[in-house]
């Protein structure tokens, strides 16, 4: 499965879903079940840790490449994509950072492969990139204070995409 970053960007479908506090896990379970009934799988993440469709497309690209090269940490594209999207080295840390919790007020639903899954009318298509709400959100994502000092020269999106790409180095 040779996939380019542009191929990942065009194949990926992603939406933002607002949820009431406390209902994140229940909402996620319903979405995953709907996808399964439609014959596909979706990735459901805490929206506060996703910085746009390009963030997920870069993670998907690196995940597919790792699987193709045999350097993957997981047997599934979904789990490998979570690992890269998180910028973490370990799957446990990745799922803790990116996973939906009772505190989640926004979910991001991503369909990585073709299938019959359709979003609800209330879901909003995820933009290519979206700015973090504040510096604290970047810190929660794992951007260091030193990296934050470079924000005048670079965008927050660049810092997030660098974290995604750095997983290849961290896994070694």
Q: Is the predicted pLDDT of residue 26 greater than 80, yes or no?
A: yes
Structure tokens at 134: 């504040």
Q: Which two tokens stand for residue 57?
A: 């497309």
Q: Assign 16 a pLDDT band (cuts: 50, 70, 90).
A: very high
Q: What percent helix, strand, coil does the chain show, rounded to 5?
A: 50, 10, 40
Place of tokens 């660098």: 162
| Selection from 133, 160, 165, 166 nearest residue 148 by Cα | 160
Return the bridge partners of 15, or none.
Answer: 109, 125
Confidence of residue 154 (pLDDT cuts 50, 70, 90): confident
- Of 3-12, 48-57, 138-147, the poorest mean pLDDT is in 3-12
Residue carrying the six token digits 């750095």? 166
Q: What is the mean pLDDT of residues 75-94?
A: 95
Question: Do strands 43-46 and 13-18 pair parallel, antiparallel, or not at all (unpaired)?
Answer: unpaired
pLDDT for residue 65 is more than 70: yes
Pair 125, 14: CB distance under 8 Å? yes
pLDDT in tens, 36-59: 999 999 999 999 999 999 999 999
Least confident of 1-10, 60-69, 105-114: 1-10
pLDDT, position 1: 53
Q: Is the dihedral of CA 60, 85, 107, 52 positive or negative?
A: negative
pLDDT of residue 3: 72
Which alpha helices (DSSP H) does 114-155 contain, by range?
Answer: 135-141, 145-148
- Kindly indicate the confidence band of residue 122, based on its pLDDT and cuts at 50, 70 and 90: very high
Please, which pLDDT band fits residue 171 given cuts at 50, 70 and 90? low
Q: Mean of the pLDDT values across residues 70-99? A: 95
Closest to 159 measured CA to CA, from 52, 4, 83 = 52
Structural domains in the chain plus CATH codes: 5-170 (3.30.2380.10)
Name which of 117, 122, 47, 32 is nearest 78 in CA terms: 32
What pLDDT is attached to residue 32? Answer: 96
Q: CA 17 to CA 19: how far, in whole Å?
A: 6
């Amino acid at each position: 499965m040779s996939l380019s970053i542009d191929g990942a960007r065009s194949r990926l479908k992603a939406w933002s879903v607002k949820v009431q506090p406390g209902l994140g896990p229940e909402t996620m379970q319903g979405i995953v079940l709907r996808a399964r009934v439609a014959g596909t799988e979706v990735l459901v993440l805490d929206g506060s840790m996703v910085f746009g469709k390009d963030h997920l497309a870069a993670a998907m690209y690196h995940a597919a490449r790792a699987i193709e090269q045999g350097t993957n940490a997981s047997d599934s594209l979904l789990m490998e994509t979570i690992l890269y999207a998180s910028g973490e080295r370990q799957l446990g840390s990745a799922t803790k950072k990116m996973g939906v919790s009772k505190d989640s007020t926004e979910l991001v639903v991503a369909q990585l492969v073709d299938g019959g899954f359709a979003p609800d009318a209330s879901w909003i298509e995820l933009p290519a990139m979206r700015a973090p709400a504040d510096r604290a959100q970047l810190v929660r994502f794992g951007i260091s204070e030193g990296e934050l000092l470079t924000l005048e020269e670079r965008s927050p999106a660049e810092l997030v995409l660098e974290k995604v790409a750095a997983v290849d180095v961290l896994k070694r």
